[in-house]
Structure 1
């Protein structure tokens, strides 16, 4: 039951904590699930989370900011509850009183982080979702090389998707066996289209309102802080992906995809297919901004071939979809961190 003393302007934030606790965190982070249920009834902590910028997820920012401070701290009793920070994490005691005390003691630092940072997880395991979508597209353009743009690219780690390897279970492996980054994803149901050799990319770039520099240690620490504490495999993949990106730096430009995608597309030779891709980006803007983005694509020359690949959570679980000028095809249901996908391929007119 919700706390009746919570101010009305915090009700939506409280509801978001409860929803995430009930639908998202249970199979990913038991620590955050416990904390989310309690934060949802705590007016002080909800007010702290309310410092988030518009359309940014308050829960992810609050937990990410706390995790960031703990990663920088030499010692703090709250660390004992974090599986990635404690040798023997405390799973018996209630973490909330110590968590709450930490938040109130560090309220100014947390408010500054929550109000200035963005959720830019740059989850490379989502490339295991993008790969079959890219192969699906490649088959439809006769394997012509395409121009690739990641919208909301963050540090651009997903732009190195063809330098990673992929393990889909049952011995299905794509990519270089010696790759330093290997992305596992379980296939449910029908096997998705997977390449013998990776689709060819003619040119690639990313765009982001706030690009992150892979050589900026503090920015990379923020990415690390956004990884949930039980997910040590995600943290290790991130570390390896950052190391690879420092060897092969992706090109990510500062800009607003809602107004600048068309200009990028027009700079691409007209006979080159265009592929845009993004994950958990359009859910951070309102419906008008999403329409503005797609209106740019529909406004391109009629003979321009383009595909927009999206992993977005309009419903749960997330959907992997491809939008073209005429159709939107839901390719798969999928885990939000790429841990599994279920290929369904259902097309509908736009």
Structure 2
């Protein structure tokens, strides 16, 4: 798929989420100059998301330009004008900076709404686990905000609230379907937290915190508020993050995990970015380690992208493998549909 088609596809996907981005993406798909700027993205990185995030980050940094009036995150009053001429002018005026950002940054949307699928999934693992304690390693951790999933409060509609009642982060999720997800007021005990990413983000720095905000569409103010609160928690309870390739780093991290705990290696929207050979290597690593302790792999299907992904569990125990689908969920946690037993 060429870069123009990617912008057209993105415009359709984002239409009901952020009309501003849908409009800009649709016209950018026909603008060779803007497409050339976006093409600075490194291999495997989504050009539309990076271009819009790079622009958003400069506006959040305080660049004074009429384009800011279309961005609610910039505290402007809004405008009924056509945003694209302002967008194009801004991109051309800041071309060198945008090219540098797009070439060096990655799409690492660390949305804590995705913890809505982690909470019942970890509870599910705790009920089939051999040990009372769980150790967790996240692949594609970004800033590690979802490693703190047990530090948040959750509202599951008629089911009610679970989690930390005094948390500044409240994740509201609609439960669809006939099956109730496994939930408990007594959350599983996490004894070990690690995150691996090619480019870890440090939320104690203004630059990385701003980049996380830049990756969220500017009209999604609730998600921005939620991110701000999650960053506050992470600055107090910052899990250890390891920068590097997952296949290269995972053997050491598996060995460092406590033995008297079931080990959970999880990810959300990461696997679709990995080559099949890397996925096979990851599976082999987990299978080999399962001769020492049970390993549970939680992830979406690697062939699924954003939208309505399916979450699945693969359990490795002494080299044997069992696999099942446990839920569908909206990419940012607005609803889940439990499918597990």
**Partner in structure 2 of residue 321 of structure 1:** 312
**Partner in structure 2 of residue 113 of structure 1:** 101
More displaced stretch, 211-220 vs 262-271: 262-271
**1:264-343 equivalences in 2 (<5 Å):** 264-302=253-291, 304-311=293-300, 314-315=303-304, 316-325=307-316, 326-343=321-338
More displaced stretch, 262-271 vs 205-214: 262-271
CA separation of 1:310 and 1:202: change in aligned 2, threshold 3 A: same
Q: 1:314, CA displacement in angstroms? A: 2.5
1:40 matched to 2:35: no
What do residues 276-295 of structure 1 show as CA deviations (whole Å, max 9, x unaligned)? 11111222222222222222
Q: 1:217, CA displacement in angstroms? A: 1.0
| Alpha-carbon distance in 1 for matches of 2:199, 2:139 | 11
**1:148 aligned to which of 122, 136, 140:** 136
Gaps in structure 2 of 5+ consecutive residues: none
1:134 matched to 2:122: yes
What do residues 111-148 of structure 1 show as CA deviations (whole Å, max 9, x unaligned)? 00000001111111111111111011111015621111
**1:92-241 equivalences in 2 (<5 Å):** 92-141=80-129, 144-170=132-158, 172-189=160-177, 190-241=179-230
- Check whether the contact 2:131–2:262 (CA below 8 A) recurs between aligned residues: no
What do residues 212-266 of structure 1 show as CA deviations (whole Å, max 9, x unaligned)? 1121111111111111111101101111111111112221122211222122212
| Alpha-carbon distance in 2 for matches of 1:324, 1:142 | 12
Normalized against structure 1, the TM-score is what?
0.90
- Check whether the contact 2:289–2:295 (CA below 8 A) recurs between aligned residues: no
| Alpha-carbon distance in 2 for matches of 1:70, 1:283 | 30
Compute the RMSD of aligned alpha carbons.
1.8
**Partner in structure 1 of residue 238 of structure 2:** 249
CA separation of 1:267 and 1:176: change in aligned 2, threshold 3 A: closer
What do residues 29-70 of structure 1 show as CA deviations (whole Å, max 9, x unaligned)? 111111111112221111111111111111111000000011
Q: 1:86, CA displacement in angstroms? A: 3.9
CA separation of 1:192 and 1:277: change in aligned 2, threshold 3 A: same
**Partner in structure 1 of residue 11 of structure 2:** 21
Q: 1:333, CA displacement in angstroms? A: 1.5
| Alpha-carbon distance in 1 for matches of 2:225, 2:23 | 24
- Check whether the contact 1:83–1:230 (CA below 8 A) recurs between aligned residues: yes
Gaps in structure 1 of 5+ consecutive residues: 1-10
CA separation of 1:74 and 1:110: change in aligned 2, threshold 3 A: closer
> Which aligned segments of 4 or more residues in structure 1 are displaced greater than 3 angstroms?
none
What do residues 164-202 of structure 1 show as CA deviations (whole Å, max 9, x unaligned)? 111111251111222111111111113211122111112
Aligned length: 334
| Alpha-carbon distance in 2 for matches of 1:123, 1:283 | 17
- Check whether the contact 1:143–1:200 (CA below 8 A) recurs between aligned residues: no
Q: 1:18, CA displacement in angstroms? A: 1.8
Which secondary structure state, in structure 2, belongs to the residue aligned with residue 84 of structure 1?
helix
CA separation of 1:318 and 1:54: change in aligned 2, threshold 3 A: same
